[in-house]
Amino acid sequence: MPRLLKQTCKYTLWLGTSFALATALLVLALRWIDPPSSAVIQAWQLHSGRKAHQQWRPLEQISPHLQMAVIAAEDQKFPSHFGFDFASLQKALNESRKRTRGASTITQQTAKNLFLWNGRSYVRKGLEAWFTLLMELLWPKERILEVYLNIAEFGNGIYGAQAAAMNFYGTSARYLSRWQAGLMAAVLPNPKRMSAGRPSRYVRSRAITINRQARQLGGSGYLKTL
């Protein structure tokens, strides 16, 4: 029995070390290599039987208005945290019936969308935390934001800033106005039920709030702190 336990421990250690090394190398490679898709996009295509709309754009070709809008809407502490916003997480737990901005950081959302699946299991949350740490260690903040903006869901089957800008407004992500950016950020909590192209009164109101918060953060000057 002790021999079996020793072998099991050795195998578990080898498996854990191999997984850690493989995932670290994968995340490191994606610092420079643009991912052709994401786990969430692939899952949507498999479930729907349709091809998702997505066109990759480097960060410098995505409007600063949209960059600021998603930070204001989703993760205002993005430049300063190390992947987790524990204060907002505690607030979200205390207000479990109400979605709280920032409970899941942009880094966490990117980790989940890029590598994992939707769900609430402890295994998935543990993997999300691991990939979040790797991304914060191995990627600059600009890369995290760039990947997020290229794989985030803005509508049913519409992923990334460029595809969303073209579908909703007939323009490139580079030329999104402040108002258009605010509308796109406003639908991120539930892009299947809310539309940036045909915004409801709630979405328009939320966009106004987001743009006001983006200005309070400092606008494009804030992006230089990344």
Instruction: Determine the Cα–Cα distance for residues 174 and 79; give it in Å rounded to an integer.
Output: 22
- Quote the pLDDT of residue 72: 95
Instruction: Determine the Cα–Cα distance for residues 154 and 156; give it in Å rounded to an integer.
Output: 7
Rg (CA), the chain: 19
Q: Region 147-173: what's the mean pLDDT?
A: 96
Please write the tens of the pLDDT for every residue from 4-37.
667 777 777 888 788 889 999 999 999 999 999 9
Summary mean pLDDT of the chain: 89
> Is residue 159 classed as helix, strand or coil in its secondary structure?
strand
Percentage of residues in the chain with pLDDT exceeding 70?
A: 90
Contact 57, 164 (CB under 8 A): no
Question: pTM of the full predicted structure?
Answer: 0.89
- Quote the pLDDT of residue 92: 53
Contact 112, 120 (CB under 8 A): no
Contact 165, 176 (CB under 8 A): yes
Contact 28, 138 (CB under 8 A): yes
DSSP state of 76: T
> Is residue 22 classed as helix, strand or coil in its secondary structure?
helix
Instruction: Determine the Cα–Cα distance for residues 143 and 226; give it in Å rounded to an integer.
Output: 10
Instruction: Determine the Cα–Cα distance for residues 81 and 98; give it in Å rounded to an integer.
Output: 23
What are the residues whose beta carbons fall under 8 Å from the beta carbon of 86, sequence distance 6 or more? none
- What are the CB-based long-range contacts (under 8 Å, 24+) for 187-191? 187/154, 187/155, 188/70, 188/73, 188/74, 188/152, 188/153, 188/154, 189/99, 191/153, 191/154, 191/155, 191/156, 191/158
Q: Region 91-104: what's the mean pLDDT?
A: 54
Cα-Cα end-to-end distance for the chain: 54
Q: Which domains does the chain have, with CATH numbers?
A: 31-223 (1.10.3810.10)
Burial class of residue 206 in the structure, from the number of CB atoms within 10 Å of its CB (0-12 exposed, 13-18 middle, 19+ buried):
buried
- Quote the pLDDT of residue 90: 58
Q: Is the pLDDT of residue 126 over 70?
A: yes
Instruction: Determine the Cα–Cα distance for residues 55 and 138; give it in Å rounded to an integer.
Output: 24
Q: Which of 88, 212, 71 is nearest to 145 (CA)?
A: 71
